[in-house]
A and B are shown apart, each in its own frame.
Chain A
Amino acid sequence: DVKVTQSSRYLVKRTGEKVFLECVQDMDHENMFWYRQDPGLGLRLIYFSYDVKMKEKGDIPEGYSVSREKKERFSLILESASTNQTSMYLCASSLSVGNTEAFFGQGTRLTVV
């Protein structure tokens, strides 16, 4: 089975801190994605990557950056955490550009205080 693992289930950080959310997939998938999920807003795409060292902005990239140095790992970085970034963060991966099924991690519930 495909496994997408997010490093933390729950995180509490202070305003202004630099925050790293890590995601690792074990099935050699090319595509990786970061979403945030908020009540009533669904899943909103922050950044995605179709290859190592490649990244593209999603719909809400402001305040975030990403890093993909290795194929299996996709990191989301909050440069200076703010309270409006309190949310559930979901990482996902899919096999290739033409592949239709995305596999999600269990999510990281981030609270910024």
Chain B
Amino acid sequence: GQSLEQPSEVTAVEGAIVQINCTYQTSGFYGLSWYQQHDGGAPTFLSYNALDGLEETGRFSSFLSRSDSYGYLLLQELQMKDSASYFCAVRGVVDGGYQKVTFGTGTKLQVIP
């Protein structure tokens, strides 16, 4: 099966940098995604890594190491509006040969002044 681990809560100061880690287990790995969800809102896509290395999109970056089954989301210049839950999600192959995406349990980020 597929499984992921990420911290349940992280607190960081406005303007600082925070890293949210994610380790995963899957067969037939295709990639690791990150989603943001504000309270009461729908998850929205942030990034996707299929290959090792760092992908940068504005203040957000995502890193993947396939050999370590590990990735992280890096948020720079934190703003109050970044307070949200962040989910990593792994895409792999399951029985029957279908690709499936499994989400982690989410990391609740609180940004404080």
Instruction: Give the interface size bracket for A toward B.
Output: 20 to 34
Which residue of B has the minimal Cβ distance to A92? B43
| B102 shortest CB reach to chain A, Å | 7
Is A97 a contact partner of B99 (Cβ separation < 8 A)?
yes
CB neighbours (8 Å) of B1 from chain A are: 59
Instruction: Give the interface size bracket for B toward A.
Output: 20 to 34
Q: Which of B78-108 contact A (CB under 8 A)?
A: 87, 91, 96, 98-106
Q: Please tell me which one of the listed residues A42, A56, A90, A102 contacts residue B96 in the complex, with CB atoms under 8 A apart.
A: A56
Q: What is the bound-complex CA distance between A104 and B45, given in angstroms? A: 9
Is A100 a contact partner of B100 (Cβ separation < 8 A)?
no
Which residue of B has the minimal Cβ distance to A109? B40
Q: Please tell me which one of the listed residues A43, A90, A97, A100 contacts residue B31 in the complex, with CB atoms under 8 A apart.
A: A100
Q: Which of A1-34 contact B (CB under 8 A)?
A: 33
Q: What is the bound-complex CA distance between A93 and B71, given in angstroms? A: 24
Contact status of A40 and B8, CB under 8 A, knowing A100-B91, A101-B45, A104-B44? yes
Q: Which of A55-113 contact B (CB under 8 A)?
A: 56, 58-59, 90, 92, 97, 100-107
Q: What is the bound-complex CA distance between A48 and B100, given in angstroms? A: 9
Residue contacts A-B, CB under 8 angstroms, 19 given: A33-B101, A42-B87, A42-B104, A42-B106, A43-B43, A44-B103, A45-B100, A45-B102, A56-B96, A56-B98, A90-B43, A92-B43, A100-B48, A100-B50, A101-B45, A102-B45, A104-B42, A104-B44, A107-B42
